[in-house]
Structure 1
Amino acid sequence: MAERIRGRRPEHISQFYSRAQIDSLADAFTAIGFSVEVFPDESSFLKTATLDLDRHMMADAIVYAIGECGFGPGRRALIPAFCQFNNIKYINSGPTANCIARNKWLAYSILTKHGIRMPRTWHYRSGNGWFRQRLPENNLEVILKPNYESMCVGIDENSVFSWGDKGSAFVEAFANSFDGEVIVQEFIPGLELGVPVISTVNDIQAIGCVGYKHRESPSEYWSKARTNYDECTEGVVQNYDPKMIDSETLAQMHRTAEEAARLLTFEGFCRIDFRLDAESNPFVIDTNESPPPLMQSAVGSLLARMGFSHGEYLSMLAELGLRRRDFG
């Protein structure tokens, strides 16, 4: 399913797919034997699928929801939940994982509770204030994020700051632009990295590591955050092979990513993002239960480095989704 942009300012758009990207995805699925129908948004799909269910025309359908935009809790879970309820084959992570991953505060709370190393995090909701009245101490460097957004939405040059220079009034104004719910998190200077993971019924396996860098400055994100402008407007964020990471640290990141995917009930291809500080301590900073199925994405670029084509990536994605639910 494609995502239609509507109704909000550009900086509120987490990700959209160009016509060229949609066509490339459709062509890649077609090349491996699928007949493809693209829907611009959830409403269009639900209307068609409901009619087709009445006509008994969904038995051979396989649904893959790729929309990345969305506001508020549970939105990404809508299509997987609909498919699961109606016994329609689908290849995303399930609705539970979608709800957890797209609620940063919930995901961070689960991982912290189970001993995963996370930056200290605080939750703020308009009208309710700070969770348990806890907030950062003065002079701590923090990053302010929307609770439900992805793809660096809401992250700009003002997002990382020293607490005390800005405070609750700044957070309240920001929260009013993003569904009233945000998190403030200790900012960890260092390398920003992603670890793709394959999660099946019987096994969870991390499959490498991808670094994120600015096209013109490899060290740009050491002391700054990747911004939505860099990611989605300018397109200057690039993936690279972080060969400088020692084997012990990489093994630790792999173990952490596998445990995080298990705790958050992720399925198929997923990704856990880290910040690696100056002492090579990895901190989990984000999670993604259904990464974009594009070769320029972290997962796609890693698979390309391993010699896989786009069609082979999508074949693995489909097979993993179908096998874990006994669809055949």
Structure 2
Amino acid sequence: MNIGLTYDLRQDYLAAGFTMEQTAELDKPETIDGIENALTGLGFEVTRIGSARNLARLLDKGKRWDMVFNICEGMFGSGRESLVPCLLDYYQIPYVFSDPAVLALCLDKGRSKQIVRDMNLPTGWFQVIGSVSDLKQIEPVFPAFVKPAAEGTGKGIDQKSVVHDPWELLSVCTDLFTRFNQPLLIEEFLPGTEVTVGIVGSKDWAEPVATMELVFRDENIYSCSVKENYLEKVQYRLVLGDLKNQAEDLALKIWQGLGCMDGGRVDLRQDQNGCMTFIEVNPLAGLNPVHSDLPILSRLAGWSYDDLIKTIMDSALRRSGLKLPEKTGSWQKPDNRSLNPLPETESSPRSLVQQKCS
């Protein structure tokens, strides 16, 4: 089975004149190598395609693949992550990860929060504004948190993102509108523990991998700078017990409710009452074998990188009516049940969100 691999290589865009901030979401060569090696080890034949532009050129020449493993982030617009899936849908080629509508929805943080709020799940107060003049029409809850509405990897986020009064809010919004030229999300600042929940699978067979807490050494904002220097600025550790159950219950409901597929992360943070609250969802999560959050939390839970890629592929193939190559043999996901000291009862974990945050 031939798997095409689509990606945006950061060094290519830097060489073309884009800045470090503009290319923060794009991938390093070791990410592409890691995915290719994992897929090859599973028995797939891998063809490197590269960017959406390369994909379009090859499709026009008649090239086809049995499936495409897509991690293209794109560069422009709130629909940039949807470009590759749109092309593949047009040519009826199955692919890994979520469809164009889901990717566009989840990249637009305001709209995804609206849907999660309509699902009666905890989101906190938020408002999307399209210009500085819109500030006159809202009544923010201070302290508030401000960020671009359609960016990832902590772009546009730093310690100044937490604002305490209208003057700070105006200053930060003015700066972000100038730098990113897109709507801004203003939301209630959540002061508690921040976690990210890894999810694998799709629809009813989706399940959590693990929940990982972000323990900040000095700053308490998971900014682009912190992510780039994570060894010095943040410590990662598994969350267990009641907090794990509450986080995974909420994350799974969000993942399924938004229609996300195959693998990704849901980011949550506790509000002032200790209730796990939705921040955002990443259905196209980073897959660098060493420093991306999803592989890190999987590793903490006892999964190898190959385990993670195989589980993601199994979900994508299942959705498409395909099967893993014969050479992979029988395989079962790592058993991480011992990481959770609480028994699975009717009160844990599936009803915890309603019990604690209603």
2:149 to 143, 147, 150: 147
Q: Cα deviations across residues 218-264 of structure 1 (Å, max 9, x unaligned)?
A: xx35xx31111121366645562244x5x333222222111111221
Given that 1:153 and 1:227 are in contact with CA atoms closer than 8 Å, whether structure 2 keeps it comes out as: yes
Given that 2:204 and 2:256 are in contact with CA atoms closer than 8 Å, whether structure 1 keeps it comes out as: no
2:138 to 117, 130, 134: 134
**Equivalent residue number for residue 198 of structure 2:** 196
Separation in 2, partners of 1:239, 1:35: 37
Q: Which amino acid aligns with 1:203?
A: W
Cα shift at 1:62: 1.8
Cα shift at 1:21: 2.7
Q: Which amino acid aligns with 2:87?
A: F
Structure 2: state its 5+ residue gaps. 1-5, 324-358
Q: Which has the higher helix share?
A: 2
- Normalised by the length of structure 2, the TM-score is 0.79
CA RMSD across the alignment: 2.4
Separation in 2, partners of 1:135, 1:27: 51
**Equivalent residue number for residue 207 of structure 1:** 209
Q: Cα deviations across residues 94-151 of structure 1 (Å, max 9, x unaligned)?
A: 1121011100011011111221111211111138735x932415xx112211111111
**Equivalent residue number for residue 37 of structure 1:** 47
Separation in 1, partners of 2:272, 2:139: 25
Q: How does 1:143-292 map to 2 (within 5 A)?
A: 143-168=145-170, 170-214=172-216, 217=217, 220-221=218-219, 224-232=220-228, 236=232, 238=234, 240-243=236-239, 247-277=241-271, 279-292=273-286
Q: CA 1:236–1:107 in structure 2 vs 1: closer, same or farther (change >3 Å)?
A: farther
Aligned residues: 312
SS in 2 for 1:190: coil
Separation in 2, partners of 1:204, 1:157: 35
SS in 1 for 2:61: helix
Separation in 2, partners of 1:16, 1:88: 24
Cα shift at 1:79: 0.9
Report % sequence identity: 19
1:23 corresponds to 2:33: yes
Separation in 2, partners of 1:82, 1:119: 36
**Equivalent residue number for residue 84 of structure 1:** 89
- Normalised by the length of structure 1, the TM-score is 0.86
Given that 1:68 and 1:150 are in contact with CA atoms closer than 8 Å, whether structure 2 keeps it comes out as: no
Given that 2:98 and 2:262 are in contact with CA atoms closer than 8 Å, whether structure 1 keeps it comes out as: yes
Given that 2:210 and 2:298 are in contact with CA atoms closer than 8 Å, whether structure 1 keeps it comes out as: no
Structure 1 range deviating more: 31-40 or 73-82: 31-40
Separation in 2, partners of 1:204, 1:319: 11
Q: Which amino acid aligns with 2:294?
A: V
Separation in 2, partners of 1:253, 1:193: 8
